[in-house]
Structure formats: structure tokens, C-alpha cells
């Protein structure tokens, strides 16, 4: 099985924390779709004829697409690829776009999973992030989606925001778990270079919360999610009744996927490709048969590093027997030795032949993973 990722780069306004490629120039939507379909056609055999199990519209803000635009892309995907009948088809959306008529349109066009960017229920923080919606619209978008018949709704939250107290985070968690949804992605704010938040941080006009509050908010997230029946199956992802994100899970398990659109990535097991991060350059290159992506052939060590990096973040962790089968005894021995060190420190646990993070280990996962990389 394989997946398809479609990067829709358009936003009506840019959030101050986001480092994904996006543009507010929606006048190029038609040109973008023409180029996108040409790219998808050229990548028809990239995953070597495997059936498509997931389609994911990310961005940017895919909910800027109207029905004609979305239908054009969906029809092309179904006519070009072998999409299974019960494929998971996700569309990322801003709450203020999800009015009843728009939600009904998505439902008509085979979208069966919504990923809604709530981020916060506090208007002052939404304003700080330069989000377009307010708290009321956030609540209404989820309720509208559930009422329309969506049974696979994922919500996004951000914690660790500047001047964001643990009391406010508790209020946010209480409000979100009162809503009808099945999946939660919650991320600690990261100050990515090139974003307005990063610039303000360096200038001293924005202040990070301290580590004690960060840890407290992370623990509150896990405890509250568990209380409401949500399982933490990846460091930042929680699901009720095993409603895991099939698309993201395929990334973590090393499945093949085709990425299309400016800045999109593709992976076929042996190589990784990434498209140029410029809409104008992407359109020009695709339309004129010019190079629009770079390719990296993955060495055995790089494949091992990716295996460790993705698997350890999940509840399924790293199986020593599977690692040895894929990468040999010598490499596996190094990984196991390092994991045992972290096990003694209480950051890694070992159960049923699998290594996984403890809660304490999750919070310093980046440090641990970097030390596990094979050069």
C-alpha cells in the first residue's frame, strides 16, 4: 500500500509560527492545479503500482479550494491511480472555512477525514499567532463537521505558547475534549528560523515559556487525553478507538508515498525527492519540462537512521529482531547498546522485545534520537 500527499500552498494570511511553504497569491490557483495534475501524471509509477490507501491534502490551507478545484484534483487522482474503495482521504482546514455548505461539499467529494487547525481556544493567543479564526468559530467548525456526518475528525492544538499559562492550557484541554472528534495532534511551539515568531524571539519581543511549564503542559496533555479515552500512539498524536491517522502512520512505518505540489516530498523506499519551494518556479518548471525536484539516494545507514527516527516516536517502537533483519547484527547491536543506556536512565522502556520512550524520554526525544543516529 502507498499514499499520496498533495501540497496546497495557498493561505489567506500567514501564521507567525509556521515554516511550511505557503503563499497568499491565490490568483495562481488555476495554474497551480494544471501543473499539479501534470506532476501527478508523471509520478504515476513512482510507487511501482502499489494501491493507494491514503490521500492527504496539506498546506498551506487546502480549505481555500472551491468545489470545482477540489473535484478536478480528486477526479484526476481516481482516474490516474489505483485508489482503494475505503481509502482515508484527509483535508486540512481552517475553522472559519468550515461553514455547513463547505463541509457538505467536502463530503460530496470523497473527503472522509478532516484535520482542523484549532490551535487554541483563547482569542488573544490566536491573534498573537495571526490565525484567521476565533474561539467560537473553532467550536462551531467541529460541531458542523460532526453534524454533517464526518466520523473521522482530527484537531490540532499548540501548547508552549509565549505567555500561555498552564491554567489556560487546562481550560483549552477541557474545551476540546468536550467536542465530537476522534483524533488529536498537539505540538509544542517551535521557533523555526525564518518565521516572524523566530525573528521576534531573537529581538527579545517574544519570550519562550520556561522548561518547567513546558513539561507541566506536556504532562497535562497526556493525562487529560488518557482520561477521555484517547491513546497516545505517537509523541504528538492521540486517537480514540484506534482511529490513528493512517497517512501519518505510513510515514512512521516507512511506507512509500508520492508527494505533489511545491515543497512536497516523495519516498519510494530507496530514494527521497523534494520539490522546489516556490509556486512560480514550480509551475514554470513543470509546464516547461524543467527540473523541479531534487533526489537523494538513501544509503543503508540513512535508511537505518530514518527507521529509528520514525519508529521510536510511536507506541510500536523499535523491535530488535526486525531491526536486525533489515539492517544486520552489527548496526542493530550499536542501536541496542545506546537504547539500553537510556533504559537505565529511565528515558526508554523495554517490553515485549520492543524499545519505546517513557514519558520522560518523550520530552527529550530529539536529543535521544540525535544520539542514536549512525554516521
171 domain residue, yes or no? yes
Check residue 306 and give its pLDDT: 93
233 with 312, same domain? Answer: no
CA 290 to chain centre: 29
pTM across the whole model: 0.96
Angle between helices 329-344 and 320-327 (to 10 degrees): 150
Q: C-alpha distances in angstroms, 290 versus 32, 223, 282?
A: 16, 51, 9
336 with 245, same domain? Answer: no
- Report the CATH number at residue 238: 3.20.20.70
Check residue 375 and give its pLDDT: 72
Do 256 and 2 meet the contact criterion of CB atoms below 8 Å apart? Answer: yes
Q: Which domain holds residue 310?
A: 300-375
Give the list of residues 6+ apart from residue 207 with CB closer than 8 angstroms, or none.
Answer: 162, 163, 201
In terms of residues, how long is the chain?
375
- Report the CATH number at residue 315: 1.10.10.920
Give how many domains the chain has, as a whole number.
2
Check residue 345 and give its pLDDT: 95
Per-residue pLDDT of the chain (375 residues; tens, 9 = 90+): 899 999 999 999 899 999 999 999 999 999 999 999 999 999 999 998 899 999 999 999 999 999 999 999 999 999 999 999 999 999 999 999 999 999 999 999 999 999 999 999 999 999 999 999 999 999 999 999 999 999 999 999 999 999 899 999 999 999 999 999 999 999 999 999 999 999 999 999 999 999 999 999 999 999 999 999 999 999 999 999 999 999 999 999 999 999 999 999 999 999 999 999 999 999 999 999 999 999 999 999 999 999 999 999 999 999 999 999 999 999 999 999 999 999 999 999 998 889 999 999 999 999 999 999 987
262 domain residue, yes or no? no
Question: Is the preceding peptide bond at 207 cis, omega within 30 degrees of 0?
Answer: no
The burial of 11, by beta-carbon neighbours within 10 Å (0-12 exposed, 13-18 middle, 19 or more buried), is given as buried
Render the burial of 98-125: b for 16+ CB within 10 Å, e for the rest: beeebbebbeebbbbbbbbbbbbbbeeb
314 with 237, same domain? Answer: no
Cα distance between residue 204 and residue 200, in whole Å:
6
111 with 234, same domain? Answer: yes
The angle at the Cα of 28, spanning 133 to 9, to the nearest 5 degrees, equals 50
Amino acid at each position: 500500500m502507498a499514499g499520496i500527499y498533495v501540497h496546497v500552498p495557498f493561505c489567506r494570511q500567514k501564521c507567525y509560527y509556521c515554516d511550511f511553504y505557503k503563499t497568499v497569491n491565490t490568483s495562481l490557483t488555476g495554474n497551480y492545479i494544471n501543473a499539479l495534475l501534470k506532476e501527478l501524471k508523471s509520478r504515476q509509477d513512482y510507487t511501482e503500482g502499489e494501491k493507494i490507501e491514503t490521500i492527504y491534502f496539506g498546506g498551506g490551507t487546502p480549505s481555500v479550494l472551491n468545489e470545482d478545484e477540489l473535484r478536478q484534483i480528486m477526479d484526476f487522482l481516481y482516474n490516474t491511480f489505483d485508489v482503494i474503495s475505503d481509502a482515508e482521504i484527509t483535508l486540512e482546514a481552517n475553522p472559519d472555512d468550515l461553514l455547513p455548505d463547505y463541509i457538505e461539499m467536502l463530503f460530496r467529494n470523497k473527503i472522509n477525514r478532516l484535520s482542523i487547525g484549532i490551535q487554541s481556544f483563547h482569542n488573544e493567543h490566536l491573534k498573537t499567532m495571526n490565525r484567521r479564526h476565533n474561539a467560537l468559530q473553532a467550536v462551531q467548525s467541529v460541531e458542523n463537521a460532526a453534524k454533517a456526518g464526518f466520523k473521522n475528525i482530527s484537531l490540532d492544538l499548540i501548547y508552549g505558547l509565549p505567555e500561555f499559562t498552564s491554567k489556560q492550557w487546562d481550560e483549552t484541554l477541557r474545551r476540546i475534549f468536550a467536542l465530537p472528534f476522534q483524533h488529536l495532534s498537539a505540538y509544542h511551539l517551535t521557533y523555526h528560523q525564518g518565521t516572524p515568531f523566530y525573528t521576534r524571539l531573537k529581538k527579545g519581543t517574544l519570550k519562550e515559556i520556561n522548561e518547567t511549564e513546558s513539561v507541566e503542559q506536556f504532562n497535562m496533555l497526556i493525562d487529560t487525553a488518557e482520561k477521555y479515552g484517547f491513546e497516545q500512539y505517537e509523541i504528538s498524536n492521540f486517537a480514540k478507538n484506534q482511529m490513528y491517522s493512517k497517512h501519518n502512520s505510513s510515514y512512521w512505518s516507512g511506507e512509500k508515498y508520492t508527494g505533489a505540489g511545491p515543497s512536497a516530498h516523495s519516498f519510494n523506499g530507496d530514494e527521497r525527492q523534494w520539490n522546489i519551494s516556490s509556486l512560480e518556479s514550480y509551475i514554470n518548471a513543470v509546464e516547461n519540462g524543467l527540473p523541479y525536484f531534487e533526489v537523494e539516494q538513501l544509503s543503508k545507514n540513512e535508511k537505518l537512521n530514518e527507521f529509528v527516527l520514525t519508529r521510536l516516536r510511536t507506541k510500536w517502537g523499535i523491535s530488535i529482531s526486525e531491526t536486525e533483519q533489515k539492517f544486520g547484527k552489527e548496526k542493530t547491536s550499536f542501536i541496542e547498546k545506546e537504547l539500553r543506556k537510556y533504559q537505565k536512565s529511565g528515558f526508554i522502556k523495554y517490553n515485549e522485545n520492543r524499545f519505546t520512550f517513557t514519558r520522560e524520554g518523550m520530552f527529550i526525544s530529539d536529543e535521544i534520537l540525535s544520539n542514536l543516529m549512525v554516521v
